Structures are given as C-alpha cells and as structure tokens.
C-alpha cells in the first residue's frame, strides 16, 4: 500500500515539477514571441481510428491557413476520459482543446476547467445563429459559453433485418409505419426473433450504458430525477416497470444477453441494439447482414429518445489560448462540422439539412435517417449530468449488478438506489 | 622512560586525531553510499506516508485546495456500510488465498524436489506465471471464465454441463478470483519451499527411518519442523500480499457483481480516482496500513512459539 501511494504521489510530484518548469519557459517565450512562432497544441478525445482519420484530415486543412500551429491528437478511452482529465487538471497538464461529453460538462464547469468562448458569437463569419439553440444549453452558464457542441445524436435502434425476415416478423420500421411500434410490441418482437445464441435486443454497450433504458421510463411518464435534480424519482411505478421489462427479457424470455456475455451487434447475434446515431461509424463496416435504423418504441406518453451530446471545450490555463481558440473555431465552423458529420449528428442547421450528412457510403437509407434521427430531434431529451455524476452512476450501476445477479427484486433495487442517491443530490 | 612517555604522549594524540578524522570521513562516505537509499526512502516512502496521514484529515477532492476537517473521514468510515463489506471481502480473500497458496506450494515442492530428468521443465512451468504481468494473467483468465464462449464453460458444455456465469455470479466470483490469484503466485512460494527442502539434513531422514518412522511421520516430525522458517516467511508474505490485492480484481470483476469482490485497495482506488475523494481514500489506506501492521506484529511475536530454528 505504502509503495502504491508513494508511487502516486511521486508521479503527482513529478507532474507538478514538470508543469511548473514548462510553465516558466512558456511564459518567457510568449513575451518575446511573435504570432508566427511555432506553437504546440494538444487535442484530446475518445474517438476510434475512423474518427482520428477524419481529424487528421481536418488538422491538415487547418495547417494550410495556420502553418505555425502543430496539433497533437491524443485519444483516451471513453470510460477513463473524465478521470484522466481530472488528474491532468490537478497536475496542471490539461490539453488545450478536448471533447467534453454531456455528463462531464457539469463537473468540468463547476471546477472551472473550461474557458469562456462566448466571444465566438461576435464573429459574423462564424455565424453562431446556425447552431440549434437547444444544443448550446448544456454549455451555457451565467450568460457565458463554456463549449461548442459538435454532435447531438438522438438514441436510435439499430436492427438486424435478416433476423426479422428469417423469423417472419415485421421489422421495427414496418411497425412504425403501421403505428404499432410500442414497447410491448418491442418485447414481443425481441422474443420472436430470439433463438439459441441469438438475442432479440441489447440495451448495453460494455454493460454500463443503463441510461439507454431511460427512454422506456420517459415513454411512460417517469423520470430519473425531479425537475431541479434534488430528488431521485426512478423508484416509481414507471421505473419498476422498466427494470421488470429488462428482468423478463433476460431471465424469462432469454431475449437479452445476460451479464458477462460480450455479444456485439456486428456479430449478427443481436436483433435490436440501442445506441446513439454515432454508432453508424461501426455499423457501416458490417458486411454479413443487412441492417437499418428505426426510432425507439413509444409508450403511453409518447416517444422520447435520449439525446446524447458531445462538444469541444477550451481548457483553461492553455499556454496558447489564442491559437487554441483558432483551432476550436475551425473545428466548429461550417467546414469543420461538415467534416465530422460523417459520424456525428451536426448541431448546425445548415449541415444537418444538407445532403452530405445523409449520403455517406454504407449509410442506412435516407428515409430511415430522416425518420429516426432528424424527425426525432424534437422529441429527444437530454439527460442532464450532475456535478456528482460519478457517484450517482456508481450507485445505479451497483443496482444493475444486483439485477443481473438476480439478487434482489426490481422494487428493492430501486429503493436501494434511492437511499444512496438522495443524499448525494442534497 | 622519558622517551616512553613522549611516544605514548605523541602517538596516541596523533593517532587519535588521525582516527577521528578517519572515522569522520568513513562515516561521511558511509552516509554518502547509503544516501540514494535513504533519500529514496524518505521521498518515496516516508514523505507520502506522512502526507497521506495529513490528507486523511482533509476533504481534498484533487481539484481545489484541501480543507482540514479533523477526524470526519474516520467517523464516516465507521458508519459506512460499504467499508465493512469491503473489509469482510478482504478477509474472505485472504482466508481463501493463504491456505490454498501455501498448501499447494508445499505440495508442489514435495513433488518436484526429486531430481529427475526434465524436472526443471515442470518447475519452470509453475514459476512462469510469477513473472507474468498480473494484468495479462487476469485478462486471459477473464476470457477463460467467459460465460458463453469461455474455455472452462466450453469444456463443461462438451460433457453436457451448462456452465455458470463465473464472474457474474455473486457466489462464485470471489472463488474464481482466489483461484486465479493462487495460481499466479504459487510458483514463488514453491521455489522458496524447494530451497528449504533441499537444505534439510539427509541424516535426519536416515535417523528417523532407523527409529521406525514412516513417510508421513518423517514429514510431520522432520521435514515440517525443519522448514518452519520458510513456512513463516511465505505465510507473512502471502498474508500481506493478499491484503493488497488489486490488479486481478480491477481487471476481472471491477469489484462486482454488486460489491461481492470489492476489496480494500480497490475501494481506495475507487474513492480516490473514480470519485475523487482523496481524503476519504487516504483514511481507508491508513486503516489498511494498520491492519497489515497488526497482522505482521502478531505473526512476528508468535513465531517464537512455532518456528523451529532460526539463525
């Protein structure tokens, strides 16, 4: 133990030392440096290789107009991202520009890690009015803007067409057209297309995206928290029904994988998979079966896909704030957002309505994208984060472990979550 | 006489002076030679240890400044139901791992002490996991324990048994982690036992044989007493090691399902680097330090009772 803690502190110590040293030299060079001096920027993200390729091209474009700015891209896996940024912040080693997901934003803003970029509004060429105003809500606080969104994907359903056809079932899109695409129907369809080793549906990516299930609760009128986020309200008839549905699908119908099974949609063994639209970057590589996207099922109160959101933040204490701003401006300009819209649902109206977003190689049919993504933008709900999101997430994940292990009944699980989370919210 | 006095007067003083200088410089060089170790110890061990005591009295969240809050973290610890579960899990882990590891190592050492042709191959095979990274070892075993396509369940399926979800069943996960940890480190203890067994005086076996002792009696009355120093050493190392388990838990179960495999070090890590509660994490770390100290003192003071001979 001593050694482990010692190691951690030594590392921290070293980070602090190097940070202190490099800060000094940087301020020195900044004072007598001119605008054309070579500048190093770090851009941090959690993207996969396909994403990085797009950014490499984008950065090369950026260098045509800013040859003196050298941008280093660093990718950190999503589950570690928030932790990494926090540790870097403690060591004063933050990147200059980085991705920020919706549920990280409150913690970053609360701790003052992000710099104000509201000056972008004054730039006529940048045209801030092109952004959907709702997409900026996340980063706005006290009339200041602490980030710019680049991706606002609603959750959609990816489905394996072959499995439906083979089982002689109506596909989700056919149900949507017929107006019968309800959560009850979803459960029936999932059961109908399940067979040995093939599961009708999967809500989870890496067994921790329980948030996908909120769409079911919302569709029936429930919610995770109350309006001002002071109370946990998932322990409600609607929440219990959500967990009961998962319980039935896992253990009664065997239409959902059990914990510990790593079955991906790409393997062809999952009928319906819930993920944000950005998952197309992986789905486009599927060669073995036909797939499509559909809107989520609806409940008594309507259809409410969860809205994912990711943006760029300008981290405070950047050694080159002006250059970092230039980079951020370029990434979120119409050109930048168009480039990244190969994967991400663009927050700029001009790009969302363009053909470039829809007509990508191996994309699902244009009408499916219109129905499941563009038309659903108005129904989509953002699950706001919380400063203590990590603690909340840990408590909820704990409850799902109890469900996966059939240790407790859904009512008791939700009660346990409530008892743990309510004190955190106060 | 005069000359005698003079010499005794002069020689000792110069000798003393010389020696003083000499001793001084010898000590100086001595300190110089140990200084890397001492400075390293102070900087890497003692300073963080003392500092973590201070941190445990604050509410440090990594970002922002620590505020002194006295014993609040320790009060919270006593009232934290998760902490007691975690403590219980750590004890279960140690109680499972230590006997399995020691007995298996002793058994293997007895089997492999004979110098037969090719015996080195077996010794090496059992020692290799010790040199493997714990992360690599755990990842491989995680796949072996996989529910659908894991190696173990595939074999069970071949003989018609529907294998359980090893790492996701609250009753099985801890057992799986214990077995994996025991297999990882059994080689080290085995080598220590091998060395000890080979130092047992052969005459003792002959003498006991003439006295009419059979193999079992020889083992309990000759072998075991003669290797008690090594048994003591392995016991103390394995107990301390089992208290500090982290890697295999992090990789294989993440403390789950629920918190059935969450142990102290994992809980420290979770509080520090997932929830950024460094003050609380430091308080737990100190409790672990005290527990390990406690076990070590007990074993140390008990050793006179049962350790047969010690140099």
Q: For residue B242, what pLDDT is reported?
A: 93
In a domain, A374, yes or no: no
Q: Where are the domains of chain B?
A: 80-306
Chain A contact for B189, CB < 8 A? no
Q: B259 CB near a chain A CB, below 8 Å?
A: yes
pLDDT at B299: 82
pLDDT at position A320: 92
Burial B243-262 (b: 16+ CB within 10 A, else e): bbbbbbbbbbbbbbbbbbbb
Of A2, A89, A263, the CB nearest to B49: A2
From chain B, pick out residues whose CB is under 8 angstroms from the CB of A404: 168, 257
- Specify if A239 maps to a domain: yes
**pLDDT recorded at residue A36:** 67
**CB spacing of A1 vs B146 below 8 angstroms:** no
pLDDT of residue A262: 77
Residue A16 has pLDDT above 80, yes or no: no
With a cut of 90, say whether residue A375 has pLDDT above it: no
Which pTM was predicted?
0.78
Cβ atoms of A410 and A245 within 8 Å: the answer is no
User: Given a cut of 90, is residue B140 above it in pLDDT?
Assistant: yes
> Tell me: the pLDDT tens digits for A306-326?
988 899 999 988 899 999 999
d(CA B261, CA B253): 7
The yes-or-no verdict on residue A40 having pLDDT over 60 is yes
Question: Residue A14 — very low, low, confident or very high, per pLDDT cuts 50/70/90?
Answer: low
Q: What is the DSSP string of A374-392?
A: ITTTTT-EE----TTHHHH
Question: pLDDT tens digits for B59-83?
Answer: 988 877 888 998 999 999 999 988 9
Which residue, chain included where needed, has tokens 């005086």? B201
Query: What would the pLDDT profile of A135-186 be if each residue is shown by its tens digit?
Result: 888 898 888 999 999 998 889 999 999 999 999 999 999 999 999 999 999 9
| The pLDDT of residue A209 is above 90 | no
Burial of B12 (0-12, 13-18, 19+ CB in 10 A): exposed
A95 falls within a domain: yes
Among A298, A276, A275, A23, smallest CA distance to A151 is for: A276
* pLDDT band for position B96 (cuts 50, 70, 90): very high
Tell me the chain A residues in contact with residue B48 when contact means C-beta distances shorter than 8 Å: 2, 5-6, 8-10
Do A159 and A145 share a structural domain? Answer: no
A256 neighbors A263 (Cβ within 8 angstroms): no
Contact A10 B169 (CB under 8 A): no
Enumerate the residues of chain B whose CB falls inside 8 A of the CB of residue A258. 147, 165, 168
Sorting pLDDT into bands at 50, 70 and 90, what band is B22? low
Distance between CA atoms of residues B216 and B196, nearest Å: 18
Percent of chain B with pLDDT over 70: 91
Whole-number mean pLDDT of chain A?
87
Q: Which residue has the tokens 């000792």?
A: B12
Burial A290-328 (b: 16+ CB within 10 A, else e): ebbbbbbbbbeeebbbbbbbbbbbbbbebbbeebbbbbb
A324 Cα to chain B: minimum distance (Å): 23
Same domain, A318 and A400: no
B131-167 CB burial, b ≥16 within 10 A, e <16: eeebeebbeebbebbbbbebebbeeeeeeeeebbbbb
- Quickly name the fold that domain B80-306 has: MetI-like fold (1.10.3720)
Closest CA to A156 of A360, A304, A266, A301: A304
Domain CATH code at residue A129: 3.40.190.10
Strand order in the sheet with A310-314: A69-75, A39-45, A97-101, A310-314, A148-151
- Check CB contact under 8 Å for A259 and B292: no
Nearest by CB: A5 against B52, B64, B246: B52
The DSSP letter of residue B257 is S
Least confident segment among A211-215, B215-219, B267-271: B215-219
Number of compact structural domains in chain A: 2
* Confidence band of A33 (pLDDT split at 50, 70, 90): very low
Question: Measured between alpha carbons, how far is B136 from B23 in angstroms, rounded to an integer?
Answer: 52
pLDDT at site A30: 41
A332-371 pLDDT tens trace = 999 999 999 988 999 998 898 888 888 888 889 988 998 9
pLDDT digit string, tens, across residues B208-231: 888 888 888 888 888 888 888 889
- A259 and B148 within 8 Å at the Cβ level: the answer is no
Q: Mark whether A246 and A159 lie in a shared domain.
A: yes
Predicted confidence at residue A136, as pLDDT, reads: 87
List the single residue in A with minimal CA-CA distance to B150.
A261
Residue among A260, A267, A403 with most chain B CBs within 10 A, to mutate: A260
Please tell me whether residue B3 adopts helix, strand or coil conformation: helix
Average pLDDT over residues A241-248: 96
- Joined together, the tokens standing for residue A375 give 């038309």
Nearest chain A CA: its distance from B87 CA (Å) = 15
Q: Which of A86, A260, A398 sits opposite B62 (nearest CB)?
A: A86
Asked if B257 reaches chain A (Cβ–Cβ under 8 Å), the answer is yes
Chain B, 100 to 159: residues with Cβ < 8 Å from chain A are 146-148
pLDDT over threshold 90, residue B275: no
* pLDDT of amino acid A27: 41
Chains A, B: CB contacts under 8 A, how many? 92
For residue B257, give the chain A residue with the closest CA. A401
What's the gap in Å between the CA of A68 and the closest CA on chain B? 33
B257 and A6 within 8 Å at the Cβ level: the answer is: no
Q: Give yes or no for B241 touching A (CB within 8 A).
A: no
Specify whether A137 is located in the same domain as A179: no
- H or E segment to which residue A202 belongs: strand A199-202
Give percent of chain B above pLDDT 90.
46
Residue A365 phi/psi, 5-degree rounding, is -55, 145
* Mean pLDDT computed over B225-250: 91
What pLDDT does residue A426 have? 82
- Name the nearest CA neighbour of A335 among A147, A127, A145: A127
Is the pLDDT at A214 greater than 80? The verdict is yes
**Domain identity same for A145 and A178:** no
Whether residue A174 contacts residue A137, with contact meaning beta carbons closer than 8 Å, is answered with no
pLDDT band at B7 (very low <50, low <70, confident <90, very high): very low
Residues A143 and A162 in one domain: no
Whole-number pLDDT of residue B18: 53
Nearest-angstrom CA–CA distance, B102 and B110: 12
- What pLDDT score does B17 carry? 52
* B64 interfaces chain A, CB cutoff of 8 Å: yes
Q: Which of B148, B256, B292 is nearest residue A1 as measured by Cβ atoms?
A: B292
Q: What number is the average pLDDT over the span B129-152?
A: 90
In a domain, A380, yes or no: no
Nearest CA in chain B to A408: B258
Please report whether residue A367 resides in a domain. Answer: no
Which residues are CB-neighbours of A156 under 8 A, at least 6 positions away? A274, A275, A276, A277, A293, A294, A295, A296, A305, A372, A373, A376
User: What domain range is A90 assigned to?
Assistant: 41-153+309-358
How far apart are the C-alpha atoms of B29 and B278, rounded to whole Å? Answer: 41
* Residue found by looking up tokens 């008594």 in the block: A300
| R_g over Cα of chain B | 27
Confidence at residue B258, expressed as pLDDT on a 0 to 100 scale: 79
pLDDT attached to residue A103: 84
Q: Is B258 on the interface with A (CB under 8 A)?
A: yes
Chain A residue numbers touching B47 (CB-CB < 8 A):
9
The answer on pLDDT for B21 being more than 80 is no
**What does the pLDDT average to over A261-282?**
89
Whether residue A402 and residue B257 make contact (CB cut-off 8 A), yes or no, is: yes
Establish if A226 belongs to a structural domain: yes
User: What does chain B come to in residues?
Assistant: 311
């Amino acid at each position: 133990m001593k050694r482990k803690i010692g190691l951690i502190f030594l590392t921290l110590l070293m980070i602090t030392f190097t940070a202190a040293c490099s800060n000094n030299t940087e301020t020195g060079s900044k004072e007598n440096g001119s605008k054309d001096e070579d500048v190093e920027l770090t851009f941090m993200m959690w993207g996969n290789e396909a994403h990085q390729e797009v950014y490499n091209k984008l950065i090369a474009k950026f260098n045509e107009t800013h040859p003196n700015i050298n941008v280093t891209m660093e990718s950190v896996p999503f589950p570690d991202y928030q932790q990494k940024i926090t540790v870097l912040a403690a060591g004063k080693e933050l990147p200059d520009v980085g991705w920020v997901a919706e549920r990280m934003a409150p913690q970053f803003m609360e701790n003052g890690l992000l710099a104000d970029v509201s000056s972008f509004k004054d730039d006529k060429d940048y045209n801030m009015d092109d952004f959907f105003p709702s997409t900026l809500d996340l980063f706005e606080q006290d009339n200041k803007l602490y980030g710019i969104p680049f991706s606002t994907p609603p959750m959609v359903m990816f489905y394996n067409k072959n499995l439906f056809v083979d089982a002689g079932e109506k596909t989700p899109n056919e149900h949507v057209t017929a107006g019968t695409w309800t959560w009850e129907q979803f459960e029936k369809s999932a059961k109908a297309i399940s067979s040995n080793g093939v599961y009708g549906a999967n809500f989870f990516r890496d067994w921790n995206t329980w948030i996908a299930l909120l769409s079911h609760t919302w569709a029936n009128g429930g919610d995770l928290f109350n309006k001002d986020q002071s109370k946990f309200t998932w322990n409600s008839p609607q929440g219990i029904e959500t967990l009961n549905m998962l319980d039935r699908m896992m253990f009664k119908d065997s239409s959902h994988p059990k914990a510990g099974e790593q079955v991906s949609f790409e393997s062809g063994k999952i009928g319906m998979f819930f993920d944000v639209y950005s998952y197309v970057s992986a789905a486009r590589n599927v060669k073995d079966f036909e797939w499509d996207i559909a809107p989520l099922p609806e409940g008594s109160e309507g259809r409410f896909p969860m809205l994912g959101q990711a943006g760029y933040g300008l981290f405070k204490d950047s050694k080159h704030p002006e250059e970092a701003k230039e980079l951020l401006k370029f990434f979120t300009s119409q050109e930048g957002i168009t480039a990244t819209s190969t994967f991400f649902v663009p927050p700029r109206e001009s790009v969302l309505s363009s053909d470039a977003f829809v007509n990508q190689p191996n994309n699902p049919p244009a009408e499916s994208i219109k129905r499941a993504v563009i038309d659903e933008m108005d129904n989509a709900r953002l699950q706001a984060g919380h400063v203590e999101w990590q603690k909340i997430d840990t408590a909820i994940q704990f409850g799902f472990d109890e469900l996966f292990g059939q240790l407790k009944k859904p009512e008791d699980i939700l009660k346990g979550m409530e008892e743990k989370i309510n004190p955190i919210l106060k | 006489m005069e000359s005698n006095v003079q010499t005794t007067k002069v020689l000792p003083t110069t000798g003393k002076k010389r020696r003083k200088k000499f001793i001084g410089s010898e000590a100086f060089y001595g300190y110089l030679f140990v200084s890397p170790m001492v400075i390293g110890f102070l900087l890497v061990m003692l300073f963080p240890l003392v500092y973590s005591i201070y941190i445990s009295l604050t509410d440090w969240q990594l970002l922002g400044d620590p505020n002194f809050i006295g014993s609040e973290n320790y009060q919270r610890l006593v009232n934290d139901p998760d902490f007691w579960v975690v403590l219980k899990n750590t004890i279960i882990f140690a109680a499972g791992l230590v006997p399995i590891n020691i007995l298996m190592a002793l058994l293997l050492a007895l089997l492999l002490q004979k110098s037969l042709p090719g015996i080195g191959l077996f010794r090496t095979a059992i020692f290799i996991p010790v040199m493997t990274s714990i992360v690599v070892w755990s990842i491989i075993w995680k796949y072996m324990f996989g529910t659908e396509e894991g190696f173990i369940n595939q074999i069970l399926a071949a003989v018609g048994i529907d294998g359980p979800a090893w790492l996701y069943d609250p009753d099985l996960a801890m057992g799986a982690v214990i077995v994996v940890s025991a297999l990882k480190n059994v080689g080290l203890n085995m080598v220590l036992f091998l060395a000890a067994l080979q130092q047992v005086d052969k005459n003792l076996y002959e003498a006991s044989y003439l006295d009419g002792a059979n193999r079992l009696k020889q083992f309990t009355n000759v072998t075991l007493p003669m290797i008690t120093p090594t048994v003591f050493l392995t016991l103390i190392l394995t107990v301390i090691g089992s208290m500090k388990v982290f890697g295999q838990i992090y990789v294989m179960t993440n403390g789950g399902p629920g918190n059935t495999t969450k142990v102290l070090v994992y809980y420290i890590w979770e509080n520090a680097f997932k929830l950024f509660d460094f003050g609380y994490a430091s308080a737990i770390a100190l409790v672990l330090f005290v527990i390990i100290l406690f076990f070590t003192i007990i074993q140390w003071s008990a050793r006179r009772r049962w350790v047969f001979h010690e140099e």
